[in-house]
Amino acid sequence: MSFTDRFDPIPHHTSEQTPLILWLKTFGFSIGLYFGLVLLLIKQRHLVGFDLINVSTAWMAVILIGLSMVLSAFCYFWDAFDHYVLFRKYLGVSGFIFACIHAFFSLVIMRSDFPFPAYYLDQKNIVSFIFAVMAFVYFAFMTSISNTYSVLEIGGVRWRKLLRVGYIAYIFSIIHFGLKGLPYWTKWIQNGMKTPPSIGLVLFIFAIFVPYFRVILEIALRQQKKSLPHETL
């Protein structure tokens, strides 16, 4: 594994880590994590049926895309994570697939519960909906350029910059889910926090740390860049 001066990994697939193997490992990890999340939602929120699928796929998108983004910082600060950097693309694309499932269930399967466009344009929901659409559109764009052809056509430097804009899209998704969950989390706090926090609140806190780690990584990279000329004298 080698890195550019901006700590962007240049993966070298080995015979043990072919794209197919990476996809299979990511699939296995995602399915295991998904069923674990489903069990938690059943136990904690007593969700069933379409509601369960809709909520669980939404949070899976947040988890997988978040893991894809936070791996750069983890690999920079902790060497133990270096061999996971190859999974960034696969986690991100898998996360977007879950986001697509969530959107499909919200807009199509459960349209009687969330009638379009009335429900989404309602005063209570429109802000959350706008942030969700902006995040989804950019994640779709990121997924579309997550291939070697796009790197060659766009150019490596510009391609990496476009992907970094994805952190803004991720913040938009955090705002979307935060606005949805805030009334429930506020009620839990006002009731004295007598029960464990909801899985949604825990995952929301995890999501907040994703852009935070990008910020501290950027600070570390800038400090490292400033110190390089002095080290070479």
Range of the domain at 199: 2-228
Q: Identify the residue with better confidence: 58 or 15.
A: 58
* Pairwise CA distance, residues 134 & 173, whole Å: 8
Residue 233 covered by a domain? no
pTM for this prediction: 0.89
Query: CA angle, corner 197, sides to 52 and 167, nearest 5?
Result: 75
The CATH number of whichever domain residue 13 belongs to comes to 1.20.120
Domain count, the chain: 1
Dihedral sign for Cα atoms in the order 89, 94, 95, 97: positive
Q: Note the pLDDT tens digit of each residue in 21-63.
A: 999 999 999 999 999 999 999 999 999 999 999 999 999 999 9
pLDDT computed for residue 111 by the predictor? 96
Residue 166 covered by a domain? yes
